[in-house]
Each structure stands twice: as structure tokens, then as C-alpha cells.
Amino acid sequence: MTVDSNLDPRLSVDFCGLNFATPLVLLSGCVGFGEEYTRIHGFSNRQAGAVCLKGTTLSPRLGNAPHRICETPGGMINAIGLQNPGVDRVIRDILPTLDFSETRFIANVSGSSIEEYYEVTRRFDDSPIDAIEINISCPNVKEGGVAFGNDVRMSAQVVAACRRATRKPLITKLSPNQTDIAANARACLEAGADAFAAINTLMGMAIDIEQRMPVIGNNQGGLSGPAIKPIALLKVHQIYQVCRDHGIPIIGQGGIASAVDALEFLIAGASAVGIGTALFYDPLILTQINQGILDYLDRHDLANVAQITGSLCLHGPSLPACGCESA
């Protein structure tokens, strides 16, 4: 289906053969199943190139006990626990309500076993969804709760299983909570990943000093927001070294709250950028970031966003046509 967009065509990017009207992607868990952002009067999903739906499992889940969200000085900790109605209801009741002419929609697949990842991906393959993102940061119940994404071998096994289940573009969402994210990206690429999203949240904690108890009901949760941006930038740069010769795109994410932030991720190697925590305090931020990117294209006499991707210069002050390659 063709996306109907009135945005400046210089913002459009090719992502795994899909045309994104803008490099901005609304991140999983931040806009529900694609409808929450549009509840604000006059808003639509057209300012985003794609929307990642809430994490979906095979069976319905109630999620974790409260509190599930905690604000910190540099961002937000969340431990929602994958609350969702299950894949069958998402496909049957939710997908038909989405306007696929506004933007691209990406399913987010989560699971507690490789078999669950495979089955959820298989069911989304027979749906109008544009692409599938697999969240490999989930705990593997068969391996004592070790997160799939923190082990190279298990990461590759999940990707390979999901690859067998779909022909749609497969995006692997990588965790920063591991020793060598580049090695993990390389293994997932060999297993069949078409693209990467980086990074997922870092694990964090907040404490109520009066009660001397964790604020989050799950004791710990995923830290997002500006505090993790420098880490995310480095991880994207490291993954780009693996991807650049293979034409594998990256959705860079982690603390993006301005056009400058977004441009840093693009320069580091991202083809698109994910907006998440910033939406909670500034729903208008998409328009501001899109305009900021256009202003940058004008200032540097660039024809489109793709010319920014991977343009990081490591050899001193960058000239208009530096031409150097990241290393």
C-alpha cells in the first residue's frame, strides 16, 4: 500500500525496500498499537515514517505489578511486562482499525521461547503489517531467564527461526546489555536479519528513600531518554561497521529529543531514527525534528536524508565533501 504523505520528499528514506516518508519512527511501547498518538485532536501518524506497535506475544499478558513507570533526572524507567492482548486479537481487532495510508506499521514480536517467536512472526506474516521487529531482549524461560539478546548464539537462533516464518522485512532490536553488540549484529545478520534497531533500553533502578524500597514494582526496569543517548550513539556506530558493506539499515534510538539528536544518529550510521520517551512530554516534537532535518539539508546543500547516513568523519574537522569512512 502506498503511503499518502505531503511531507517534503527530501525526508523520505528507503528502508528494506519500504518507502518511509520521513526517517522518524515511533517506537514500540510509546504509542500503544498505533492509535494513541492520533487521539490528540488534529494529530495523525503522517509525520512519522513508520510506527512500531506495542510488543506482542502469542497469548495475552497482564504485565507487571505497579509501579511500572518512574521518571528519573535523565529519562524514564519502565517495566510494563509486555502487557498485550495476544497476537490473534491484534491481527483480528486492531490492525483493521489502522490507517495504512498514513504511514508504515511495524509489528513488534516478543516471546519466552524460540517457538513463541516463530509462531507470532508466522501469524504476522499473514497480515497487512509492513515489517516485523523482533525484541530479543526477552528472557528465555528454558535457559533460566537469560535474555535472548545478551547471548550471541541465542540471538541468532531467534532471528533464524523468525526468518523461516516470514518474507516480510525482519528488524532485530538489539540490547546494549551485552559484551559485544557488533558481534551480535554480525551473527544476526548471518541468521537472516534485514535491519537493526539500536538500542533497546539499559537496565536501571530507582529507590524510594523513605520506604527504602524500589520504586518499580519489578525492582528494575528499562532506562530510556537523554541519559542513554551517548551510549546509544556509540552502539549505532559500532553496528554500522558491520552493516555498511551489506546495505543493512539501522533505526537509531535512545534519548532522541531534538533535530540535533536525530542528526547525530544519522551521521553515526542510522538510516532512520526512533522517537520514544520524548513523546511523553512533547507530542509536537515530530514536526520540530522533521523541520530541523530539512534545515540541515538546506544549510549543507544536501539532496536527501540518505546523504547524511554514515557521514561521520574521524579524521579531523569535516569538509563539505569529506569522503572519509568511519573506522
C-alpha span between 119 and 137 (Å, rounded)? 17
Q: First vs last Cα of the chain: how many Å apart?
A: 38
What 8-state DSSP symbol labels residue 187? H
Does residue 138 carry a catalytic annotation?
A: yes
Distances in Å between the alpha carbon of 123 and those of 35, 116, 130, 132, 173? 21, 11, 13, 11, 19
Residues 66/91, Cβ–Cβ less than 8 Å: no
C-alpha span between 285 and 258 (Å, rounded)? 7
| 183 φ/ψ sector (left φ>0, alpha ψ -120 to 50, else beta) | alpha
Which neighbouring-strand residues pair with 296? none
Distances in Å between the alpha carbon of 293 and those of 85, 267, 318? 37, 12, 18
Half-sphere exposure of 179 (CA within 13 A, CB side): 3
Return all residues near 84 (Cβ < 8 A) that are at least 6 apart. Answer: 54, 55, 56, 57, 60, 61, 90
Residues 7/106, Cβ–Cβ less than 8 Å: no
| 195 φ/ψ sector (left φ>0, alpha ψ -120 to 50, else beta) | beta
Give the three-state DSSP class for 116. helix
Q: Which of 52, 70, 138, 188 is catalytic?
A: 138
Which neighbouring-strand residues pair with 16? none
Please work out, in degrees rounded to the nearest 5, the angle formed at the alpha carbon of residue 215 by the alpha carbons of 253 and 203: 35
Active site members = 138
